[in-house]
Amino acid sequence: MLKSQIPIRVCFDRHERRPRFFELDTVSHCGTHACGQFCQTLTATDVGSGWTEVRAILNNAHRWVKEELVGIFVQLPFPMLGIDSDNGGEFINHQVYDWCIQNNIRFTRGRPYQKNYNCFVEQKNGDIVRKTVGRARFEGEKSLSDFLCK
């Protein structure tokens, strides 16, 4: 039901290529096993400028994603006008959706099962997150604090 309220973006309009419209994604730090709870990196990339914010989160819980989005929103040197995400539950949830409405942020999503829709943020996931952190497994609060120190 909530997915039907979030429009699907096929491409960025010309006015959205200016700074302030962000693509969002998470990177899993699960090592070779995707079972259990493991840390994630939330990546937000501005489509127009390439400005990228990365935040470590304990897991994909709605709470952590929304809290870090708020932190990014507050610390940006320019206002955030829109976000575009994949169809993952870490983004498509009432906490993120309601926060966007309260802050007048346009929230869109890509078509399901289309990997190339978030190309700006996917590039930063490789260039920034994987090159810095690698592919090791990080789990728990101790690992999160170690991960933040990398």
Token pair listed for 30: 């699960």
Nearest to 37 by CA among 57, 52, 15, 17: 57
3-state SS class at 64: helix
Contact 111, 10 (CB under 8 A): yes
Domain extents in the chain: 3-148
Nearest to 52 by CA among 144, 132, 114: 132
| Cα 38 from Cα 60, distance rounded (Å) | 9
State pTM to two decimals. 0.85
Query: Does an H or E element contain 26, and which?
Result: strand 21-28
- Look-up of token digits 């897991």: 59
Q: Which CATH superfamily is domain 3-148 in?
A: Ribonuclease H-like superfamily/Ribonuclease H (3.30.420.10)
Q: What are the helix and strand counts (H, E) for the chain?
A: 5, 5
pLDDT in tens, the chain (150 residues): 888 899 888 766 665 567 799 999 888 788 888 888 888 889 998 988 889 999 989 888 899 999 999 999 999 999 999 999 988 899 999 999 999 999 999 999 987 766 666 777 777 777 777 777 778 878 778 777 766 655
